[in-house]
Structure 1
Amino acid sequence: MGAELSTQVDADTPPETLSRRDLPAVAEFILGGKCQKIVFLCGAGISTSAGIPDFRTPGTGLYSNLQTLNLPHPEAVFDISFFRTNPQPFYTLAKSLRPGQFTPTVTHAFISLIAKKNLLHKCFTQNVDTLERTAGVPPEMLVEAHGSFAGQSCIDCHAAYPADKMKEYLLAGSVPHCEACTGLVKPDIVFFGESLPREFHMGLSSVEEADLVVVMGSSLKVYPFAALPGRARAGAVRVLINNESAGGLGVRKLAKELGWAEELEEVWKSVGGGSDKKVGTEAESSEDAEPVESIDAKVGRLTEEVERGLSVVDGWKENVMKDLSIQETRINRMVEADLRGENGEISLVDQKNLGVAATDQPTSSSENRTSLNTTVKEPEHQVKKVDGAGE
């Protein structure tokens, strides 16, 4: 059940499980003892208040800003086929998205609090920023559906790559190569055209077993993740906490209804946040706090860095194409010499055979890439609200 299949439930339609369609009723359900298994489905919106830009927010999302760059399409920076031919744009971008420079949001802390209450059944996340790990979500309850920056490996031989060396390359915005086979190395995040991790498929039954499914910060446009809410059993409660830019306000309201507001702030503070925040209000920076770079400025800077990186790559590609052209001319001359008969002419049969050999080769990988991506890329549909209690 993705965004295009979701409809807002009529207010006159009585809920099947809850007493009402509001957050207090959700809190009553959790505290009443009937809710023992909570599953979270998290998207980029829960990390934007940590300073990490999402992908689709107009004007500030990564895709919106990458449209100005010399890419076949904005998503190409996360496309495995494009990465194989030109990895530099991704690494220029990854330099400013690397882990270690961001701290968990209050939403991450809320998931951790639910785990401490022994109510967390599973947390599926589309995010690759590792903030769920940093917030203390138990590894056995976490499914990083699109992988994460926590590991890195060769895309050819799949050998693991040292984390300390990867950090050096990320800081430099440079492209690392495998020490075993010299293949390209990338973080263990899932690109368009790659399969989702085994843990995702093994965890699907968790959604079917859930008493409560909470969707936070996701547009539900990327499949197969977008289909997860539809796997909930009949009678299970589904809640969407998601505004134009999802932050911590929704989980704070729910924590307050549960009587866990102070505990939530304590958990958040313990993982690096919340020291200058007030319970029940949106986060405000203290006067002594260092100014935080706006998301607009950060993404704009990322765009400039990627553009500079691409200009270097374009120059390199031009030189490579010249070399290839020279080599092709030499090869053609050699082939022509080999095909000449005693009379010095190329036979018609040889020309046909040569042509067939050429046309039998794939002319582009775009067709294969399209077929691989059909299970992953998002359909263009208007986002509609998931049924359940929203903010």
Structure 2
Amino acid sequence: MTSPAETDRHAALAAQQLADWLREHPRVFVLTGAGVSTDSGLPNYRGEDGRWQRKPPVTYQAFVGEPATRARYWARSFVGWPAFARARPNAAHTALARWQAHGGPARLVTQNVDGLHQRAGSTEVIDLHGRLDEAVCLDCGARRPREALQDRLAAQNPDWIGLQARTAPDGDADLEGLDFAGFVSPQCERCGGLLKPDVVFFGENVPRARVTAAFEALQQADAMLVVGSSLMVYSGYRFARAAREAGLPLALLNRGVTRADDIATLKLEADCGATLQAALPA
């Protein structure tokens, strides 16, 4: 078992390596993933071996086409939302925001849907997979804050109020073994259409405008840094692959394996928050 002193030495070494690397590459394209937000209490999808730690998430096709699946999603979201809404930026978020304020990357690309980069002070963030704090009607396009739906869900589903469950990624909760048949999913108050959180589900494409903006930012960079992502999802991995195809150095700061380990020029397996706090400008 690793001692605290050994852990500290490892973190200090990783921070020094990253600081040295950053001095050689002043224009860095930064992509972050779920590992950045775990210290904020938001679980990761995958373990350090890169494998799923729970059942795969709902697909877009199932959410839209299956009322039972939609009810299951909204029940889990209703129970998990309070913990998700209470999450606050951690050391990794604040370090990246501070770096940006001191001339760091002009744009930050994240696979996360929690909005914690913005709450920490980062600007010009590309939320590749959207934001969970907003819902959109799939029929008329009307939008509303996700927080506003919580009271409506409570009024329509009083038996689910106060249910305790383990927090799961992306603002839902593990509710295995429960009957979701009676859970009432929210509808658009304007047109009665289907409401969906404004995030990219599996089986759904990332909006082209976000992908284009991210690639434009990559084209302005002289290196790429991945923080807290296994890159197992292609929507993030494609940027790492494009960076290497363009001859750009690629650094990975992540605990465990990533899909880009074989093409990285620097791999640091260390705590994201501690390493960034020590490596980035104060």
How high is the TM-score relative to the length of structure 2? 0.69
CA contact (8 A) 1:80 1:191 kept: yes
Give the percent of matched residue pairs that are identical in Structure 1 and Structure 2. 28
State the distance in 2 between where 1:169 and 1:116 align. 39
Is there any run of 5+ residues in structure 1 with no aligned partner, and where?
1-20, 67-73, 264-391
Q: Which residue of 1 aligns with 2:261?
A: none
Q: Within the alignment, does 1:127 sit opposite 2:112 as a pair?
A: yes
- Relative to structure 1, the CA distance from residue 254 to residue 111 in structure 2 (aligned partners, 3 Å threshold; closer, same or farther) is closer
Q: Give SS of 1:230's match.
A: helix
Q: Which residue of 1 aligns with 2:136?
A: 153
Structure having the higher strand fraction is 2
- Relative to structure 1, the CA distance from residue 244 to residue 168 in structure 2 (aligned partners, 3 Å threshold; closer, same or farther) is farther
State the distance in 1 between where 2:130 and 2:249 align. 27
Alignment of 1:211-222 (within 5 A): 211-222=222-233
Amino acid at match of 1:249: D
Amino acid at match of 2:212: H
Amino acid at match of 1:151: E
State the distance in 1 between where 2:147 and 2:19 align. 44
How high is the TM-score relative to the length of structure 1? 0.51
Q: Which residue of 1 aligns with 2:16?
A: 24
Q: Which residue of 1 aligns with 2:70?
A: 87
CA contact (8 A) 1:177 1:184 kept: yes
State the distance in 1 between where 2:145 and 2:42 align. 25
* Residue 175 of structure 1, CA deviation: 2.0
* Residue 83 of structure 1, CA deviation: 0.9
Q: Give SS of 1:183's match.
A: coil
Q: Which residue of 1 aligns with 2:6?
A: none
CA contact (8 A) 2:230 2:256 kept: no
Amino acid at match of 1:143: I
State the distance in 2 between where 1:227 and 1:127 align. 16
Larger radius of gyration: 1
Alignment of 1:1-391 (within 5 A): 23-31=15-23, 35-57=25-47, 64-66=53-55, 74-75=56-57, 77=58, 79-84=59-64, 85=66, 86-95=69-78, 96-97=80-81, 99-138=84-123, 141-161=124-144, 163-169=146-152, 175-197=185-207, 198-232=209-243, 234=246, 236-244=248-256, 249-257=271-279, 260=281, 263=282
Amino acid at match of 2:189: E
* Residue 58 of structure 1, CA deviation: 7.9
Is there any run of 5+ residues in structure 2 with no aligned partner, and where?
1-12, 161-183, 258-267
Amino acid at match of 1:112: A
Tell me the alpha carbon deviations over residues 203-242 of structure 1, each in whole angstroms, 9 at most, x when there is no partner.
2121122123111111111113211012226553321111
Cα root mean square deviation, aligned: 3.1
CA contact (8 A) 1:47 1:104 kept: yes
Q: Give SS of 1:148's match.
A: strand
State the distance in 2 between where 1:248 and 1:109 align. 17
- Relative to structure 1, the CA distance from residue 230 to residue 101 in structure 2 (aligned partners, 3 Å threshold; closer, same or farther) is same
Tell me the alpha carbon deviations over residues 117-154 of structure 1, each in whole angstroms, 9 at most, x when there is no partner.
1211321111111111111111xx21111111132111
Q: Give SS of 2:234's match.
A: coil
CA contact (8 A) 1:156 1:183 kept: yes
